[in-house]
Amino acid sequence: MKLNKAIAVYFSPTGNSRKCALATAGVIGRNIEEIDLTKEGSFDEDMKFDINDFIVFAAPVYGGRLFKGFAQMLHNMNGNYAKCIGIVTFGNRDYDDALLEMKNLLIDSHFIPLGFGAVVGRHTYGHIQVDRPNNADLENCRVLAKGLLDKIEKGVFTIPEVKGNFPYKDGGNGGSFYPQTDDKCKMCGLCAESCPQGAISFDDFKTIDTEKCISCFRCIRICPFGAKNVTTKEYLDFAEMFSKKLSEPKEDELFV
């Protein structure tokens, strides 16, 4: 069968899932269409997929689940039976039920998921696997894509089993470490523009609505001047403890 084009669809506040989506989609087609669902308001209800498109979905694990906002977007899509790969990236703790949740959502939204990956990426908090996804992780993404192309070539359209339990564990919410802004802030507004939750005030860029903030740390990573950070003792103690606890590298897992 002939595949039309490769589309990378991702929610990726700190960029790990985007890297994995692009590495995977790159094997399938040269001209990759990117649908970045990270920015607030980027979801388009009328998004259309063709049965001959090949889609790569990628998103982070939040508390062993998909982030609720992204799960809702998947729920609202109509895949028109396009074939796809589902990838979750996790910060070297565990992906628990997130991949199973992604698989079930993709099937319910009329996609045909032929392969799945759980790939380690730098954890949002502390200093955990800071160079991942590295070349070996991205190579695993490519291996996954090749496995899929092989399946399609052979006319094998089985949907693989993945690790995870249903009912799912509680999770999918954000964290509760809210960034502060110091005097290095130049008021450029980049952080407010890119916050997935619209939680940063466009009036002063220093005020964060803690009801909306999910502690994704996108604003911290994106600020060119290093003006946003979490410096509370509570966070620093947690980050130190967590970084020690998760210092042993985990392996990626592929399901084809």
Applying CB under 6 A, the residues found at the interface with ligand SF4 are: 179, 181, 185-191, 195-197, 199-200, 205, 208, 213-219, 223, 225, 227-228
CB contact set of 256 (below 8 Å; sequence gap of 6+): 114, 115, 116, 144, 147, 148, 151, 160
Binders of ligand FMN among residues 171 to 210 (CB under 6 A) are: 174-175
From the list ligand SF4, ligand FMN, none, partner contacted by residue 187 (C-beta under 5 to 8 A by kind)? ligand SF4
Residue 83 binds to ligand FMN (criterion: CB under 6 A): no
From the list ligand SF4, ligand FMN, none, partner contacted by residue 82 (C-beta under 5 to 8 A by kind)? none
How many H-runs (helices) and E-runs (strands) does the chain carry?
7, 9
What residues form DSSP beta bridges with 203? Answer: none
Full DSSP string of 3-39: ---EEEEE--TTSHHHHHHHHHHHHH-SSEEEEE--S
Residue 14 binds to ligand FMN (criterion: CB under 6 A): yes
Closest CA to 102 of 46, 168, 152: 168
Q: Between residues 159 and 190, which has the closer beta carbon with respect to ligand SF4? A: 190
From the list ligand SF4, ligand FMN, none, partner contacted by residue 181 (C-beta under 5 to 8 A by kind)? ligand SF4
Measured distance CA(13)–CA(67) in Å, rounded:
11
Residue 146 binds to ligand FMN (criterion: CB under 6 A): no
Q: Between residues 48 and 186, which has the closer beta carbon with respect to ligand SF4? A: 186
Residue 16 binds to ligand FMN (criterion: CB under 6 A): yes
Measured distance CA(11)–CA(243) in Å, rounded:
24
From the list ligand FMN, ligand SF4, none, partner contacted by residue 197 (C-beta under 5 to 8 A by kind)? ligand SF4
CB atoms within 10 A of CB 189: 11
Helix axes 135-153, 16-28, angle to 10 degrees: 40
What minimum distance in Å lies between the beta carbon of 197 and ligand FMN? 12
Q: Which amino acid is at 206?
A: K
Q: Between residues 13 and 115, which has the closer beta carbon with respect to ligand FMN? A: 13
Q: Note the residues at the interface with ligand FMN (CB under 6 A).
A: 12-17, 60-64, 89-94, 121-124, 174-175, 215-216
